[in-house]
Amino acid sequence: MTASPTCYERQMEFTKQQIKTSVVACIIDNQQRVLLTRRCVEPFCSQWVMPGGKIDHGEAILAALHREVREEVGLEVHAEGLIDVYEHLGIGSRNDHYVILYYRCSPKSFNLQPNGEECTEALWAPSQQLPEMQLPPGCRYILARVFPDLCWGQTPLPEDAAGEIPDQLQMEHS
């Protein structure tokens, strides 16, 4: 009679996979202007983006949204609702899965204070100017959903998400 293998012998080698989540605030005032920040770090260095970042483990989604906006531009906002989810599958050598949640928000104040660590400038961009601005693909995709009547041209999803994910660039170069 053959002895059955122990639990240790049955273990299979596997790669730990996880879903990485980020949240972004699409802050629109009553004049239909969108708050954009000019990034001074990678990814998106020198591009205009909406405030946002990673959701920390154990942090509520909306708490992360409010924290990121306060950290980046010093504003308090009212979260109105989810616009869309921007998802990337099979990214990088670890085959990561990213989920980015974009929320429409309204500002509770207008005194912009860019933190200088992640962004050097912040401005209220009139919606009509958005299609002409230097925006990353995910940002363009979401703003095209919010302002569908503007002439966006093609807004394809990026084929390589390395520049689209908050910690992807750092991970790829590690």
Q: Which stretches within the chain are classed as H helix?
A: 7-10, 61-73, 137-146, 168-172
CB atoms near residue 115 (< 10 Å): 16
Of the ranges 30-34, 49-53, 139-143, 159-163, which one carries the lowest mean pLDDT score? 159-163
Give the domain CATH number at 75: 3.90.79.10
Q: What angle do CA 145, 150, 156 make, to 5 degrees?
A: 50
pLDDT digits (tens, 9 = 90+) for 35-72: 999 988 876 788 899 999 999 999 999 999 999 999 99
Q: Which DSSP category does 169 fall into? A: H
> What mean pLDDT comes out for the span 136-141?
86
CA distance 116 to 32: 26
pLDDT at position 128 over 90: yes
pLDDT at position 170 over 50: no
The model's pTM: 0.78
Q: What is the layout of strands, in order, in the sheet containing 33-39?
A: 48-49, 33-39, 119-126
Total structural domains in the chain? Answer: 1
Q: Which residue has the higher pLDDT, 161 or 33?
A: 33
pLDDT at position 153 over 70: yes
Domain of 63, in residue numbers: 16-172
Residue 1 covered by a domain: no
The percent of residues in the chain predicted with pLDDT above 70, rounded, is 75
